[in-house]
Chains A and B, each alone.
Chain A
């Protein structure tokens, strides 16, 4: 029932298993199928249109969340009652990680050298991927609280990588 769409998990909506690794092609296909069917543009009656709007909004949010490997993990933890934005996770990152991220941030600021940026990206990616791997191994052991701590720390690298990408796209476009 459209009114109850919020009762379903994002995975349920697209008929895919709630797991760390998903078939992106299946996600894409199911998403497009559902949008084609339930987008508000397909309805004339105002009540149905409003219901469809609600469905379409949730589908878009769900698709954007599952498509992204980081957001997907955040969402999986949510399903287990853990929100990494909570202070107990967010403020529990080790000094070591924080100072490393901070240092890298300083290095990429105003840096337009594609080679150097690439180097920083490789470095940050490595740390980030290791954290995600660690997360995955804890996740299959159902150690969700530990997962929360790892993901909260990985968030710092996630944001850093976004910033490096932005820098790189600028450097790349200008070269």
Chain B
């Protein structure tokens, strides 16, 4: 039966193939690729997703500076209330007017702006290789990214002058890349353990179509957590306090990323750790490492097994498991899956850090040229409306195929009611307050009628990028009122902002408290380290005047701390910090000259300082 009488697809073989970039915009690294003459060409090497500022110029930070903005992706689409204490501790985050910004030198940037900068760098690499302007791209996102984070990614691309052909999910992109040289039909699972996110996806490859069956994940679970865990282990081993200074935190954590990388393929690793003007050695056997990371990798297995169960599948049904993301290299993970599935069904022959970009490039080519395998993805999280009593009524269930459309009818509850408020939520929880608020809009000017008479038809559409659009129409009368919204865009931006502001006034209080606690502990640490330095080296002060000045300042700060007066603590802390830095310098020189008598003092001092302060 010919139901759909539309023209045959546009496939014009003679047309010159258009180039579009595939971009894996990762938490830790970013990589671009293009599909040229039937093969994937990577745009240079892997680029760190870290941005620093040089003068007034943003630059990609290739040198792991402790002053750069990093893990920017984990802030995409985040609201102030979503910030964790770790975010505040580890990043130079500034919050003003419910905007989250990252501070670089004297300037502040949003996560969208910084992501956009990374994208412009990839775009520039592509244009260099192609020799002409390129404006189209496919960008990958974690499958579990919610609508707001997807919109933020789209905005970053727009800002970078890129037309996004499609946002595709990272696990799906990886499957596309493997699909190139593997035509075995069947059900595949993707295990994608990246720097900052974990995703797993089950998809079915049949009749030249990739159809996603189900997806699950955790956007706050990644290799970074392993680095932090090792760091924690080191701190407690040496009875050291938690690190509250973002610079120090990053500098220290980076050293443990190296530990994690070095232990790959080894039975044990020993590394020198530079921290708080001291040199430590940190040794770890493979066995200890595996035990330490057990809680984190177990969490990934749980999510993976849960997804299999929910999809009514088991390992025997799988044609293969595709391993994606740098953290999937950890040997113990491969060993785990080896218990359930034949080794040759674990697909890890492609570089797990490049596979997503490769798949994105292939799909970018397909979309720009209207050819190739078709990708059918799903909604990762259910979309609901808040109904009476603060409950969620599911409108689009998770794992529904996209694009999709759902219509629902609503009516009024009171005679003469002239408006209805809609809160649109995303998440699996039952109560609206536990789900993510995507958007809020009000349908006004409903003609006065008896309760239950007006018919308000609400249409929910999710497009192929996984983005939601909602519109509403009152249909019972001649006067049709319609309102269309797109979360984060759309007509009701002001209203959405107001709503967000209202709901976060409470969160701001929490944030202030966090900030206060952080400042107090920072000040306490400073006092502690000055006392430690002076007790070790009595000759640290130039003269007794300097000593007295310092002691007075410390006394003032300690008094402010006792009173817990935030502004006073901040003021006293400022007066002390530059002097403390000078003391630290002197201290290092003194320690150095006694410890490294034979070496070139300035040279050692410089490298040492760089390592301590960054």
Contacts and interface: CB of A to CB of B under 8 A. Distances in A.
Interface of A: 1-2, 5, 8, 12-13, 15, 28-29, 32-45, 48, 51-58, 60-61, 63-64, 165-166, 168-170, 172-174
A11 to B, nearest CB: 11
A173 B374 contact: no
A32 B3 contact: no
Contacts, number: 103
A56 B403 contact: yes
Interface string B367-391: 1001000111000000000000000
A71 to B, nearest CB: 10
Contacts of A58: 405
Given A43-B10, A173-B302, A60 B401 contact: yes
B5 A1 contact: yes
Contact of B4 (A38, A60, A168, A172): A38
A64 B309 contact: no
Contact of A32 (B1, B209, B366, B406): B209
Contact of A5 (B4, B376, B403, B461): B4
B404 A60 contact: yes
A36 B370 CA distance: 11
B575 interface: no
A113 to B, nearest CB: 16
Given A60-B401, A174-B302, A35 B376 contact: yes
Contact of B9 (A37, A55, A57, A172): A37
24 contacts: A2-B4, A12-B1, A15-B1, A32-B207, A32-B211, A34-B4, A35-B376, A36-B208, A36-B209, A37-B9, A41-B374, A44-B370, A52-B6, A55-B4, A57-B404, A58-B405, A60-B401, A60-B402, A60-B404, A64-B404, A169-B310, A172-B305, A173-B303, A174-B302
B462 to A, nearest CB: 8
B581 interface: no
A121 to B, nearest CB: 12
B240 interface: no
A41 B400 CA distance: 19
A100 to B, nearest CB: 20
B7 interface: yes
B3 A173 contact: no
A60 B403 contact: yes
A133 B14 CA distance: 58
Q: Is the interface of B mostly helix, strand, loop or mixed?
A: mixed
Q: On chain B, which size bracket covers the interface?
A: 35 or more
A150 to B, nearest CB: 22
Q: Is the interface of A mostly helix, strand, loop or mixed?
A: helix
Interface of B: 1, 3-7, 9-11, 166, 206-209, 211, 301-303, 305-306, 309-310, 366-367, 370, 374-376, 400-406, 461, 463-464
B400 A60 contact: yes
B309 A168 contact: yes
B370 A173 contact: no
Contacts of B367: 41
Given A42-B10, A60-B402, A33 B207 contact: yes
A29 B405 contact: no
Nearest to B301: A173
Given A56-B403, A57-B461, A42 B9 contact: yes
B207 A48 contact: no
Task: List 4 A-B pairs, minimum CB-CB distance, nearest first.
Answer: A42-B9, A60-B401, A173-B306, A57-B405
Contact of B374 (A12, A35, A44, A57): A35
B405 A2 contact: no
Contact of B401 (A51, A53, A64, A174): A64
A8 B4 CA distance: 10
A39 B208 CA distance: 13
Nearest to A2: B6
Nearest to B206: A32
Given A35-B209, A36-B209, A37-B9, 18 more contacts: A5-B3, A13-B3, A32-B206, A32-B207, A34-B4, A35-B374, A36-B207, A36-B208, A39-B374, A41-B370, A42-B374, A43-B370, A44-B10, A44-B370, A53-B403, A64-B404, A169-B310, A172-B306
A35 B374 CA distance: 8
A69 to B, nearest CB: 13
B119 to A, nearest CB: 22
B5 A63 contact: no
A57 B462 CA distance: 8
Contacts of B402: 60
A54 to B, nearest CB: 8
